[in-house]
Chains A and B, each alone.
Chain A
Amino acid sequence: MNDKWTNRLSEYVDGELDSAETAALEAHLETCGRCYATVGELRLVVARAKSLPDTPPANDLWAGIANEIRRERLPDLRDRRDRLVRRRFSLTVGQLLAASIALMLVSGGGAWLAVRSGRSITPAPSVAAFTGRPRITEVATWSGRTDAAIADLQAALTQNESRLDTGTVRIVRQNLALIDRAIAEARIALQKDPGNAYLNLHLADTMRRKVELLRRVNDMAAARS
């Protein structure tokens, strides 16, 4: 799965390799579809991260996110912490997935906090608010945190659904069940093939969809209070 360049790709994207290393890596990219795809992913994530507004979340979520990222950090990278701190967007593949999910959870968590506090949430017209599908995949240790976020949003929905009519609630519940079934199928497939990159990615994306749907419905309920 990994080659000697895997952990150098973020340095390449950041332009931190010297010219010889850059030339060697670019030659490698000509023949390695996986690294080529990963470089594309890294560039997308960096572009997406740079395009995000610099507004802190309503709740201080970063400490928890940082702890999770630290927990997943590979042992051989610990002695390079100063470099990771210095580089704003230099992340390993596993960290990238965690960061991608974390961005999503900040979004979902923010909505939930606002609903809980009774504030009306106006759906942002910006496309930037529409979190894209997570793209990089490794071992899916992040799913527990996503489960927790989903549980919070579902609890909020239970509180808020009286603001919606029963027909809408029924449709939403049916669609949540549809997503749950997809999540379950992806998890079963992952148990049989834990290293499957696509399945990890698909599970992450399907869980993101559930977070997005719950967040939308909670927003809608709040707007109709």
Chain B
Amino acid sequence: MLTTLAAAMLLTLGGAPQRQTDTTIAVPAGASLSVNNFGGGITVHGWTENRVKVHGETGRRGRVEVSMVGNTVVVKTGSREGAPSVIDLDISVPQSMGLTLNGTYADITVDGVQGAISAETVNGEINVRGGKGIVTLHSIQGGVTLADASGRIEVNSVNENVELSNVSGEIKVETTNGEVMLTGIQSSSVDAGTINGDVTYDGTVNDGGSYSFGSHNGDISVSIPERANVTITAATANGDIDASFPLPMTGSTGKHRKTFKIGSGSARMELESFQGDIEMRRPQEMRDRIDRKHKEHGAHENENDNDTSFSFHVDVNDAATYAARYAQAYAPKYAKTYAPVYARSYARAYSRAYRGAHADTTTH
């Protein structure tokens, strides 16, 4: 059943030894995939074949093990010696396959899979397109995006943004220090919150549905379709409550907690922000705003790119100045990405070097 198509091939890329491994396993219907990769990347694509193909790119000491355990294809990475290696995995799987993906310093990307997906990483982004059934995505230090998924959705980060688009089903989203952006949502049950960031919702408000959006330090912006039947409770301690359309208020508790009933009021929606404003908009208005926000974000990124390219047109005598500017622009990004990955291996390598040097000194 297990056929290894190609073993290791040694390449030299820019002086860094790189190994590539390819392993392909034929899998029965209903098989699942379990991947554990300490550092690097996990990329999974859905394809139409009933086989799992695992392509790994490792350092000299890296190792990729692929095995079939029961009905599960298990992919593990490791190192022949010393610190864990940085390994990039590119895996093709049948589209309906269920996935369990775990990383520590790993970015996780999934595209074109229509099975259940569980993905967790400590320091890395998670970007998933597709998924059906139970979809759970967790990262501590990376942003999480999910698109074109349906089912019971649970997505959270701690220190980054969370973004869902074209997702349907029961949705629960949380982050602590980041923004929550939900667009194109079709759901009767949405629960989304953050401590430090805005929450934006553009989606359906179904009769009998339950919708809850909260932030401590950010604004809450939701779209309310014109024919919605919803009872909205909006509460804020230090912000304002605003709608771009007439809202019939049915109750008020103090200055900052108000209840509105639209139509039959059968759906329930809670909008809460301690420091921020609460805004209710019509869907088109909300989409225009989101588009503007995306454009501004893109322009800001281009601006940053222009800033860095500007440094190439400088007088070489000012190299130090521009080097400092370049470092300032890129250091946080690269430090964040690479420092955790390489810190241990460099610490080990340098400690050996210094031990050796110290031994030489004491011997002589």
Q: Which A positions have Cβ atoms within 8 angstroms of B?
A: 1, 31-34, 36-37, 40, 44, 123, 125-127, 130, 132-133, 135, 164-165, 167-168, 171-172, 174-175, 178-179, 182, 185-186, 189, 193, 196-199, 201-202, 205-206, 209, 212-213, 216-217, 220, 224
Contacts and interface: CB of A to CB of B under 8 A. Distances in A.
Interface stretch (B198-206, B265-273, B311-319): B265-273
B140 interface: yes
A186 B195 CA distance: 12
A126 B237 CA distance: 33
A11 to B, nearest CB: 21
Interface stretch (B56-64, B151-159, B300-308, B323-331): B151-159
B251 A34 contact: yes
B256 to A, nearest CB: 7
Contact of B196 (A37, A178, A216, A217): A178
Main secondary structure of the interface of A (DSSP, over half): helix
Contacts of B212: 132-133, 135
B134 interface: yes
Interface stretch (B65-73, B74-82, B170-178, B349-357): B170-178
Given A125-B116, A182-B195, A205-B214, A37 B233 contact: yes
B275 to A, nearest CB: 8
A206 B123 contact: no
A174 B176 CA distance: 10
Contacts of B253: 1, 34, 196-198
Given A175-B159, A179-B176, A220 B140 contact: yes
B243 interface: no
A171 B158 contact: yes
Interface of B: 104, 116, 118, 120, 122-123, 134, 136, 138, 140-141, 152-154, 158-159, 170, 172, 174, 176-177, 191, 193, 195-196, 210, 212, 214, 216-217, 231, 233, 235-237, 250-251, 253-254, 256-257, 259, 261, 265, 268, 270, 272, 274-275, 339-340, 343
A143 to B, nearest CB: 16
Given A36-B250, A167-B123, A202-B237, 6 more contacts: A126-B134, A127-B172, A185-B275, A189-B237, A198-B257, A209-B193
A168 B195 CA distance: 19
A48 to B, nearest CB: 11
A164 B104 CA distance: 10
A182 B174 contact: no
Q: Which of B152, B154, B191, B265 has the largest number of chain A CB atoms within 10 A?
A: B154
Contacts, number: 139
Contacts of A123: 118, 120, 136, 138
A130 B237 contact: no
A79 to B, nearest CB: 30
10 contacts: A33-B251, A40-B231, A123-B138, A167-B123, A175-B158, A197-B257, A202-B214, A205-B214, A212-B174, A220-B122
Contacts of A171: 140-141, 158-159
Given A133-B193, A179-B176, A202 B274 contact: yes
Contacts of B191: 132-133
B134 A206 contact: no
A130 B217 contact: no
A178 B268 contact: no
Nearest to B273: A202
Contacts of B251: 32-34, 37
B265 A36 contact: yes
B340 A165 contact: yes
